[in-house]
Structure 1
Amino acid sequence: MATLILVRHGRSTANTSGVLAGLTPGIALDEHGAAQAAALPGRLAGLPLAAAVTSPLQRCRETLAPLLAARPELPLHTEERIGECDYGDWSGRKLAELADEPLMKVVQQHPSAAVFPGGESMRAMHFRSAEAVREWNARIEAEHGPDALYLMCSHGDVIKSLVADALGLHLDLFQRVSVEPCSVTVIRYTRTRPFLLRLGDTGDFASLVPREPSPEGGTAAGDGGNAVVGGGAGAG
């Protein structure tokens, strides 16, 4: 079956301001995120991509823009089901403020039971995105053959849940996975099992350097022992 290249969008203005963007419209890449996106064509050079599939949100479309400019023949498809989790009433709020919400403990320790007020459950996000990947795997294989590679540009929590799915992990363990902005995660699907070939690959080890937590609520996975809801801003 197909090999899926998952790209998290580049660093956004919401990431650097410590805001949980969710489905909020108009969230663009910041200057560093734009540079990350500009480097993406070079990182993927030589890979015969059959198609690109994107979340409908602006930050994902901006991330893929340089790649599409470099490869004008690459088909682009929009897929609502790999869009960001609907955080409902949490959307647009500071992560530092949300850390004190009772629901945050559920999000961190028992995410399969987390339902965002006015939004969706993490379980629903997980199911819809996994279903989308399986349908796209079948479509890409039917159109391009079993050795085809294709790309999806999505969001931190969505990609983490897809990694958990590929590894056969319960959703309650997905917060142990970290994917930084514009990182590349690769899953090869076969008839019997998926294989995780890359996880959160940025080609940069700067994020491993110890640093002080951000006053906006932390930018690195593991700050205070918690995962960054939405994925965080990464290093840089």
Structure 2
Amino acid sequence: MSRYLYLVRHGEQQDAEHGLPDGPLSPRGVRQATLLAERLGGVPFDGAWTSPLQRAQETARIMTARMPAIEPEPSALLMDCIPSGPTSDMPHAFESFFGGVTEEEIEAGEAQMADAVSEWLTPSREDRHELLITHNFVIAWFVREVFGAAPWRWMGVNQANAGLTIIRVRSAKPPVLITHNDLGHLPTELRTGLPVEQPY
């Protein structure tokens, strides 16, 4: 039996370039979410979960409006977070990222992602398709977990707005990454959210 996780980053946020912590989707973000919903319309989803933040919840509403069989449920396990802190084996180039991050934020993120992995990266007794609408760092942590990579390796794993990552969780074998940051449903002008240049 397989459990399929469809990990989606929220659509582009209105005025995201101004550094606002949360807010509604931009018109472009609405279009991104609509096109992704059209792409996934034929998937037999068993459930949908979303980060409680506004940009993710609005993305979830747009997507599930086209999927009448499911209702998105907010989950604190999908909240935007810092999944882990600096480690001794982490390249020095990444250190500046943690300049404004507190120990409390790191501890909260580590605990959250440990619970999220326990919740969703465990095998199911039946075939399931689950939609998770969340944030860049959360998706990066799931991808890192699939590969069993060092804790710091979530850094530099980026997903665009309304990008699609699919993970297959199997009963007797390790989980596998089917696709990461698939943007085939978005025309070039709607592909946003990836750093032009890595800040670290």
Band of TM-score, shorter chain: 0.7 to 0.9
Give the structure 1 partner of residue 37 of structure 2: 41
Instruction: State whether residues 106 and 114 of structure 1, in contact with CA within 8 Å, keep that contact through their aligned partners in structure 2.
Output: no
Q: Given the alignment, which residue of 163, 171, 177 partners 1:196? A: 177
Aligned partners of 2:75 and 2:93: how far apart in 1? Answer: 27
Residues 82-125 of structure 1: CA deviation (Å, up to 9, x unaligned): 10117xxxxxxxxxxxxxxxxxx99962599777238501x642
Instruction: State whether residues 112 and 172 of structure 1, in contact with CA within 8 Å, keep that contact through their aligned partners in structure 2.
Output: no
Residues 108-145 of structure 1: CA deviation (Å, up to 9, x unaligned): 62599777238501x6424423422432455x93xxx5
Q: Percent identity?
A: 27
Instruction: State whether residues 130 and 165 of structure 1, in contact with CA within 8 Å, keep that contact through their aligned partners in structure 2.
Output: no
Gaps of 5+ in 1: 87-104, 210-218, 228-236
Offset at 1:67?
Answer: 2.1
Q: Given the alignment, which residue of 69, 79, 102 partners 1:117? A: 102
Residues 44-63 of structure 1: CA deviation (Å, up to 9, x unaligned): 02111110011111111111
Counterpart AA for 2:153? L
Count of residues in Structure 1 that have an aligned counterpart in Structure 2:
189
Residues 112, 31 of structure 1: alpha-carbon distance in 2 compared, 3 angstrom cutoff: closer
Q: Given the alignment, which residue of 121, 133, 150 partners 2:130? A: 150
Instruction: State whether residues 108 and 226 of structure 1, in contact with CA within 8 Å, keep that contact through their aligned partners in structure 2.
Output: no
Instruction: State whether residues 10 and 60 of structure 1, in contact with CA within 8 Å, keep that contact through their aligned partners in structure 2.
Output: yes
Instruction: State whether residues 10 and 37 of structure 1, in contact with CA within 8 Å, keep that contact through their aligned partners in structure 2.
Output: yes
Instruction: State whether residues 159 and 181 of structure 2, in contact with CA within 8 Å, keep that contact through their aligned partners in structure 1.
Output: yes
Aligned partners of 1:171 and 1:3: how far apart in 2? Answer: 23
**1:121-200 counterparts in 2 under 5 A?**
121=106, 124-136=108-120, 141=124, 145-191=125-171, 192-200=173-181
The answer to whether residue 57 in structure 2 is matched with residue 61 in structure 1 is: yes
Instruction: State whether residues 60 and 72 of structure 2, in contact with CA within 8 Å, keep that contact through their aligned partners in structure 1.
Output: no
Gaps of 5+ in 2: 83-89
SS of residue in 2 equivalent to 1:199: strand
SS of residue in 2 equivalent to 1:178: coil
When the two structures are superposed, what TM-score results if normalisation uses the length of structure 2? 0.79
Q: Which moved more, 1:36-45 or 1:68-77?
A: 68-77
When the two structures are superposed, what TM-score results if normalisation uses the length of structure 1? 0.68
Give the structure 1 partner of residue 7 of structure 2: 6
Aligned partners of 1:107 and 1:160: how far apart in 2? Answer: 20
Counterpart AA for 1:221? P
Instruction: State whether residues 30 and 62 of structure 2, in contact with CA within 8 Å, keep that contact through their aligned partners in structure 1.
Output: no
